[in-house]
Structure 1
Amino acid sequence: MGASVLWGAVAASSLLLGAVLGVVRRWSDAMVGTVLGFGAGALISSISFELFEEGLAVGGAMALALGLAFGACVFYVSDRWVERIGGRARGGAAGLPLALGAFLDGIPEQAVLGIGIAEGGGVSVALLVAIFVSNLPESIGSATDMRAAGSPPRRILLLWTAVAVVCMLATVAGYAAAQVTAEHFVGAVDGFAAGALLVMLVGAMIPEAQAKVHEKAGLAAVLGFAVAAGLSAVS
């Protein structure tokens, strides 16, 4: 249990770190777009080599597919809700959607981290690094976008502190759940994380990176994918 708390806190800490970086200084569109592109590539690698592959092997195709569809639908509906209440008003195009994405994919993603620890497989270095690295552009991009839209720094930091704490607790919950649930649950959790991530990537993160740095977003994404894939291969 102690290990799940420790590694959960390490993975989630980058959410708050990125929010602080986004609040304390103004980041250029080029920097934010490049970091968003790099993080998108790292997340795509995590989906491919950690979430999808492990979910299929452990839980089977049906549990993975159901989790994938459910995660995608939950994020889509939640994102529409954010849009309706004005989350994208006044220029904050991707701020709240990125925070929502970090929340929805962070919970199952970090739960998977806890599940791996509970099953005696230790900490997946590739997954840990992918979570940490991808959290940074999500929170930096969100905090920068929300700050530009006029949100007070205190509100931004409180939002991301809450997201980080919940995501850290998800690692502990995953550890505890692994003691009493079947392997199909693990596959469904992997699928949910992958589904939420994919919708967030296509709907918010990649378009925001493309809008800020244009074709350079693709290069940054490939580099992010390569780094995360390499870590997955050696872990």
Structure 2
Amino acid sequence: MMMTLLVVVAVSAALIAGAAWGIYGHMGDTTRAFLVALAGGALVLSLVTELVEPSVERSSLAMAMIGVAAGAVVFAAVDYLIDEYWGPDSGGGLLAAITLDGIPENLALGVALIGAGAGEVAALAGSIFLSNLPEAAGSARDMAAHGGRSKLRILGIWAATAGLLSLAALAGNLLLDTVGEGVLAFIRCFAAGAVVASLATEVFPQAYQDDKHLAGVATALGLILALVLGNIGG
């Protein structure tokens, strides 16, 4: 239980720290783009190896396909509504991405922590941390610049999001350890589908726009980092 709490706190704290950095600190577009692309590269690998592949092995290809498709469709729909309500440059898209993939992702993380050693969850937890920090920073910065909200209110939104995702991880750890593999497979793959959609529509396009020369290198470095994390204790 202690390791679960430590991982949950670390992953969720990245949201608050990133939001505070984006609102009150200074982050250049190039720096933010590099970090977001780095996180995206890590997620490319971890969503396949830690979410999709285990779901196919333990449940079925059909369940994995349904989950991935559902996650992508729901993300696209919510992202569209947020663009209509807040505007495409408000930062709401990345907030939606973090929340939509974060809830099932953290449910799956909570399940993965049951009886697991540090090395077995390092890749997924590390990739979530890497993605949360720069994405929250960039989104909070955009919300402060274009959203018409006070800095304190924006920080409160991100703190509430961190709390929600923490509850999701704890719920996964405490409540889902006895459910069937089909349900867990759908949760994991829904998260993967939302991640894929967010990478395609929010993360990589923005990273390329702000740092077109190094975005590809940063993505590759992120993938390498996820490989290293995935082999810790292996």
Q: What range is the shorter-chain TM-score in?
A: over 0.9
The residue type paired with residue 128 of structure 1 is A
Indicate whether 1:101 and 2:100 are aligned.
no
Structure 1 match to 2:116: 121
Percent identity between the two aligned chains: 33
Structure 2 match to 1:7: 7
The residue type paired with residue 115 of structure 1 is V
Q: Is 148-157 or 75-84 further displaced after alignment?
A: 148-157
The residue type paired with residue 156 of structure 1 is I
Instruction: Check whether the contact 2:52–2:188 (CA below 8 A) recurs between aligned residues.
Output: yes
The residue type paired with residue 116 of structure 2 is G
- Following the alignment from structure 2 to structure 1, what is the Cα–Cα distance between the partners of residues 7 and 30? 32
Per-residue deviation, 1:36: 1.1
Per-residue deviation, 1:3: 4.2
- Following the alignment from structure 1 to structure 2, what is the Cα–Cα distance between the partners of residues 53 and 121? 18
Structure 2 match to 1:201: 199
Indicate whether 1:137 and 2:142 are aligned.
no
Instruction: Check whether the contact 1:5–1:171 (CA below 8 A) recurs between aligned residues.
Output: no
Instruction: Check whether the contact 1:5–1:169 (CA below 8 A) recurs between aligned residues.
Output: no
The CA deviation string for residues 180-220 of structure 1, in whole angstroms up to 9 with x for no partner, is 31011111111001000000010011111111111311111
Instruction: Check whether the contact 1:116–1:122 (CA below 8 A) recurs between aligned residues.
Output: no
Counterparts of 1:1-235 in structure 2, within 5 Å, are 1=1, 3-88=3-88, 91-92=89-90, 95-118=91-114, 120-123=115-118, 124-149=121-146, 150-235=148-233
The CA deviation string for residues 131-159 of structure 1, in whole angstroms up to 9 with x for no partner, is 11111111011012222225321121011
Instruction: Check whether the contact 1:30–1:213 (CA below 8 A) recurs between aligned residues.
Output: yes
Instruction: Check whether the contact 1:68–1:196 (CA below 8 A) recurs between aligned residues.
Output: yes
The unaligned stretches of length 5 or more in structure 2 are none
Instruction: Check whether the contact 1:37–1:224 (CA below 8 A) recurs between aligned residues.
Output: yes
TM-score by length of 1: 0.92
The unaligned stretches of length 5 or more in structure 1 are none
- Following the alignment from structure 2 to structure 1, what is the Cα–Cα distance between the partners of residues 7 and 32? 27
- Following the alignment from structure 1 to structure 2, what is the Cα–Cα distance between the partners of residues 234 and 179? 24
- Following the alignment from structure 2 to structure 1, what is the Cα–Cα distance between the partners of residues 47 and 14? 19
- Following the alignment from structure 1 to structure 2, what is the Cα–Cα distance between the partners of residues 59 and 3? 27
- Following the alignment from structure 1 to structure 2, what is the Cα–Cα distance between the partners of residues 160 and 136? 11
Distance 1:211 1:62, change over 3 A: same
The residue type paired with residue 140 of structure 1 is A
Per-residue deviation, 1:32: 1.0
Q: Is 225-234 or 172-181 further displaced after alignment?
A: 172-181
Per-residue deviation, 1:46: 1.2
When the two structures are aligned, how many residues end up with a matched partner?
Answer: 230
- Following the alignment from structure 2 to structure 1, what is the Cα–Cα distance between the partners of residues 152 and 223? 33
Instruction: Check whether the contact 1:14–1:135 (CA below 8 A) recurs between aligned residues.
Output: yes
Say what the alpha-carbon RMSD is for the aligned residues: 1.5
